[in-house]
Structure 1
Amino acid sequence: MTEDAAWSALFAELDRWAHAGKRLELWLRDDDATEPSDQLDRLADLAGRFTIPVLLASIPLQAQETLAKRLETAPLLLPCQHGTWHRNHAPTGEKKSEFGLHRPTADIAAEIAAGRQRLRDLFGHSFLSVFVPPWNRIHPEIAAELPGLGFAGLSCFRNFALGPAGGPRLVNTDLDLIDWHHGRVGRQPDNLLAEMVQLLADRQMKPQPRQPFGLLLHHHDHDSTTWSFLTNLLSRLSGHAAVAFSGPDTLFDAATYLD
């Protein structure tokens, strides 16, 4: 499929949403924030251009005070917690995870709480009590501990689900713009659009009152292909009858702001 055909397919699908009276809430999550950079400035400019807030997942024990200072002038970049150290504790042969059941639960909970306090001290009232685990992996038993640690929200990727013990409000991302297995480069627009169309077609059939669709970003790793696609997508979707740009403060409830 050519890129032009892929764009046509996306708008045909969105037109079906509009005809059915459904609304897609498009939102952005960006991971691995630790310090200011030209790439972070570009993300802030993009958020401002389209007036779309971004959930900025910051690594607590790597985050710099300079990041907090920069965010004072970037009100649409809303910081939340991205793990603690962003370290892999899974044994060799397993997928990377900082929050699997590879350590005592009490130790993991204490580490998460320490990270939360660090970000609360760093960002103050701009901090959102939303937890984003590195590599989008967290064992459901650990996720169930998050409300007791002060978290009102959790965000992973596409098919992650809470276990029987529950957890905070879960809003996953759906489309990763980076190709991690072939050089950490931006995925090609036609492939991204085709995947998005399929996801939306599947979702259009589900009778859900809210339809958030999250784009997963990593500003440190964005190349020209990624920035171009993201800008083009937001520009083309802006104003479409079936699309509303949404923010994490809305998706996770404004009460996630700290008192």
Structure 2
Amino acid sequence: MTEDAAWSALFAELDSWAAAGKRLDLWLRDDDATVPSTQLDRLAALSERFAIPVLLASIPLLAQETLARHLETAPLLRPCQHGTWHRNHAPAGEKKSEFGLHRLLPEILAEITTGRQRLRDLVGSAFLPVFVPPWNRVDPVVAAELPSLGFTGLSCFRNFTLGPAGGPRLVNTDLDLIDWHGGRIGRQPGDLLAEMVQLLASRRTNPESSQSFGVLLHHHDHDNTVWGFLTNLLARLSGHAAVAFSGPDALFGAATDLAMDLD
């Protein structure tokens, strides 16, 4: 399938959403923020151009004061907590995870609390109490404890679900723009569009499916392929009857006010 055909397939699927009276809430999450950079500035400019807020997952014990000051000039970049140190604690042979049950639960929760306080100290009232675990992995036992630590939201990737003990409001991302195993390069637009169409078609026909669709970003690692696709996607979908650009405040509720009340 050519790229033009892939775009046509996406619009045909979105037209089906519109015909069914459904609306897709498209949103952006960007991971690993620690310092200001030209890449971060490019993300901020894109968010301003299309009036789409970005959930900016920042590593609290690596984030610098300069990031906090920079975010004061980029109000659509909405900081939240991305783990603590972004360290892998899984043993060799297992998938990377900072918050699997590879340590005692009280130690894990104390570390998350330390990270939350550090990020709150850095960014103040701009902090959103949404937890984003590195590598999109967190044990359901840990996730269930997040509300007691002051978190109202959790965001992982596509198929993650909470355990029987529940947890905060879960809003996952759905589409990763980077090929991590093929050289940390941008994925080809045709492949991304085909994946997006497949996901949306499945969601349209399942009344239990979420209406939100999250695009996962890592601004430090973006090449021209990623930036080009992201810009093209937002430009083409802007104004479509079935698409609304959404942000973390709408998706996770009045998170900032709740964060202030819990401290």
Above 0.5 in TM-score? yes
8 Å contact 2:30–2:56 — kept in the other structure? yes
CA distance in 2, matches of 1:165, 1:208: 20
User: In the alignment, which residue of structure 2 is the partner of 1:171?
Assistant: 171
2-structure distance, mates of 1:166, 1:53: 27
Match of 1:41 in 2: 41
Shift, 1:208, TM fit: 4.3
Using the TM superposition, give the Cα deviation of residue 209 of structure 1 relative to its aligned residue in structure 2, in angstroms. 8.2
How far apart are 1:61 and its partner, in Å? Answer: 0.4
> Is the Cα–Cα contact under 8 Å of residues 151 and 256 in structure 1 kept in the other structure?
no
Deviates most, 200-209 or 228-237: 200-209
Looking at structure 2, the residues matched to 239 and 210 of structure 1 have their Cα atoms a distance apart, in angstroms, of 21
Following superposition, which runs of at least 4 residues in structure 1 exceed 3 angstroms of deviation? none
Structure 2: runs of 5 or more not aligned:
none
Distance (Å, rounded) in 2 between the aligned partners of 1:141 and 1:209: 24
Report the residue type matching 1:62 in the other structure.
L
Higher mean C-alpha displacement, 23-32 vs 246-255: 246-255
The answer to whether the 8 Å contact 1:130/1:256 transfers is no
RMSD: 0.9
Residue in 2 aligned with 1:65? 65
Q: Indicate how the Cα distance of structure 1 residues 157 and 210 shifts in structure 2: closer, same or farther if over 3 A, else same.
A: closer
Question: Residue by residue, what CA displacement relative to the aligned partner does 1:19-59 show, whole Å, maximum 9, x if unpaired?
Answer: 00000000000000000000000000000000000000000
Cα shift at 1:241: 0.2
What letter corresponds to residue 233 of structure 1 in structure 2?
Answer: L
The answer to whether the 8 Å contact 2:13/2:200 transfers is yes
Q: Cα–Cα, structure 1 residues 256 and 167, in superposed 2: closer, same or farther, change >3 Å?
A: farther
Equivalent-residue separation in structure 1 for 2:256 and 2:123 (angstroms) = 14
Aligned counterparts of 1:249 and 1:210: Cα–Cα separation in 2? 17
Paired-residue identity, %: 79
2:99–2:108: 8 Å Cα contact kept in structure 1? Answer: yes
* Superposed CA offset, 1:161-184 (max 9, x none): 000000000000000000000110
Equivalent residue for 1:146?
A: 146
Contact 2:203 2:210 in 1 (8 A): no
In structure 2, what is the equivalent of residue 104 of structure 1? 104
Question: 1-side partners of 2:151 and 2:79: how far apart?
Answer: 13
Structure 1 gap ranges (5+): none
Q: How does 1:157-168 map to 2 (within 5 A)?
A: 157-168=157-168
1:91–1:210 CA distance, 2 compared to 1 (3 A): closer
Match of 1:255 in 2: 255
Rounded Cα–Cα distance in structure 1 between residues aligned with 2:168 and 2:254: 14
Give the partner amino acid of 2:57.
Answer: A
Task: Look up the match of 1:53.
Answer: 53
Instruction: Tell me by how many angstroms 1:210 deviates.
Output: 5.3
TM-score computed with the length of structure 1 as normaliser? 0.99
Aligned pairs, how many? 259
1:2–1:131 Cα change, 3 Å: same
What displacement does 1:255 show? 3.3
Is this contact kept in 1: 2:126–2:256, CA < 8 A? no
Per-residue displacement from partner, 1:166-210 (whole Å, max 9, x unpaired)?
A: 000000000000000011000000000000000000000121485
Partner of 1:198: 198
Aligned AA (2:96): K
Any conservation in 2 of the 1:25–1:210 contact (CA below 8 Å)? no
